[in-house]
Amino acid sequence: MESKPSDVERQVFQGSDEVTTGLDRRHTWATTIRSKLDELIKNSIIGFADGLTVPFALTAGLSSIGSSRIVILGGLAELFSGAISMGLGAYLASVTERKHYDVEREKKHRDVEKCPEVEEARIYDIFSHYGTGPERARSIVESLQANRGLYVKFMMDFELKLERPNRRFAFLAALAMGLSYLLGGLIPMIPYFATPLPKALYISIGVAVVTLLIFGYVKAVVTGTTQRDACWSAVQTLLIGAAAAAVSYGIVRGVNSAEPGEL
Amino acid sequence: MESKPSDVERQVFQGSDEVTTGLDRRHTWATTIRSKLDELIKNSIIGFADGLTVPFALTAGLSSIGSSRIVILGGLAELFSGAISMGLGAYLASVTERKHYDVEREKKHRDVEKCPEVEEARIYDIFSHYGTGPERARSIVESLQANRGLYVKFMMDFELKLERPNRRFAFLAALAMGLSYLLGGLIPMIPYFATPLPKALYISIGVAVVTLLIFGYVKAVVTGTTQRDACWSAVQTLLIGAAAAAVSYGIVRGVNSAEPGEL
């Protein structure tokens, strides 16, 4: 039942493979760079969003005590401990993920060696989700069985869907997260350095609102949604900041007035 | 070149398929539940680790001012704004991820319709990474071309490697993260409620060290590493907390002594 190879197939793997292989390689590169860039952007977004909400909410809460000094001290302490915890935390998380990957790969190696029928059935199961029966998937299984390393790689990618984080890239991604946190947190804190309370709180709220809206909008544009979704995303981001700041303000004010005199 | 179907193949898809299909389904279920559980655990770990480091570091920093009241107010404000920002942030991030998925799927639908040769070449490219040439992958391509929806699903899973977050599960995962943050942050804050400064700071450091070590160890065991790696993981987690707390303490002390009198 050998049918004629399709045009693309002949192009890619037989005659004039140079052009298409070049194109493929470029595509693979582009995909890799794009996914790395996506991850960096994602990390920066997470860091910036957290920075924009937590230090802002904390300083807004502390401002109810009425001392700029306390606000600035608390804000700076939170800014740096948050950035360090987030950046270092993200880096160490990917180190752990890497270890986890290696443990699972070892396990998969043993499985492929000791229970080949189970693994084979799993491959048929994977392909069955895409409407491909065993009679069509068998050629893939056969070619995988010819190379243990590629077999395990296939199962890691398609069955377990695990990725092994690159150590250097993980460092870069963690740095992007930590710095974005610092930047995002610093912006709504600036008014407290420049103006006395309670004016500084109002300006800080204004600055946070504008920054959150712009950020929410840019985030939506970067992730490729429509204009309407972009506005909704901005409002959503604003809501997180507002909710956190309101709760923080309420708790500090409540606790502060409930047990007076000890300060 | 039709070869005889293998034993497993016959078992799974022809004769006695009941047993193996049951086994397959159970495997698929087990894999799904396991990956969901993995994500919940991962989120709880992230939340708990962040909670254990940031509020601890902030309260340690604020304790240099010498007022239990400021420490408790700052700590509570950070605890709740951090938990809200983290939980809500994680939830909204997965809403955005869901939208991103839908945008990419739309795009892929158009690509499959308008540039079928390019997509076909991409599939051959994917399989070539696993040592499977086009002559073996062609049967897969043919079966995918018979169903546009499954074709797109295949490309989303295997080319773009994107997943569409489940809304309800995203909520659960975000809740796990926020609550773990609250719990992790509350533990090293308890001494400040019970004991005056500076004793409370020392006890808080002790409590944080013990909790971080236990947490680091449990984290390593859950993610399945060796005893030796588990100890290393605990020390690493401790280092984040110590670094954040030290920087926070230094900054509050430095800024506080540099500009006196304004409090």
Reported as a single tens digit per residue, the pLDDT across B209-219 is: 999 888 878 87
Write b or e for each residue in B101-116: b if 16 or more Cβ atoms lie within 10 A of its Cβ, otherwise e: beebbeebeeebeeee
CB pairs under 8 A between A and B: 322
Q: What is the arithmetic mean of pLDDT over B57-76?
A: 92
Residue A3 covered by a domain = no
- State the pLDDT at residue A239: 85
Contact A60, A201 (CB under 8 A): yes
- Nearest-neighbour CA in chain A from B59: distance (Å): 9
Least confident of A3-17, A211-225, B12-26: A3-17
| Chain B residues touching A77 at Cβ < 8 A | 57-58, 61-62, 74, 248, 251-252
- Nearest-neighbour CA in chain A from B99: distance (Å): 7
Residue A63 covered by a domain = yes
Chain mean pLDDT for chain B = 82
- State the pLDDT at residue A178: 94
Least confident of A110-119, A227-236, B150-159: A227-236
Q: How many CB atoms lie within 10 A of CB B62?
A: 31
d(CA B118, CA A115): 37
CA distances A120 to A107, A135, A153, B118, B152, Å, are: 16, 13, 14, 30, 24
With an 8 Å Cβ cutoff, is A87 touching chain B? no
Using CB atoms, pick whichever of B78, B131, B229 lies closest to residue A58.
B78
Per-residue pLDDT tens digits for A28-60: 677 778 778 888 888 888 788 888 889 999 999
Residue B27 covered by a domain = no
| Chain B residues touching A159 at Cβ < 8 A | 31
Residue B158 covered by a domain = yes
Residue B10 covered by a domain = no
What domain range includes position B220? 43-252
Residue B16 covered by a domain = no
* Full-model pTM: 0.76
With an 8 Å Cβ cutoff, is B254 touching chain A? no
Residue A29 covered by a domain = no
Q: Which two tokens stand for residue B261?
A: 């009198």
pLDDT-based confidence at B14, cuts 50/70/90? Answer: very low
Interface predicted TM-score of the whole assembly (ipTM), two decimals: 0.74
Domain count, chain B: 1
Among chain B residues, CA nearest to A28: B125
Phi-psi region of A6 (alpha: psi -120 to 50; beta: other; left: phi over 0): beta
Residue A37 covered by a domain = no
The interface residues of chain B toward chain A in range 171-200, judged by CB-CB distance below 8 A, are none
pLDDT-based confidence at B151, cuts 50/70/90? Answer: very high
- State the pLDDT at residue A113: 92
Among chain B residues, CA nearest to A25: B125
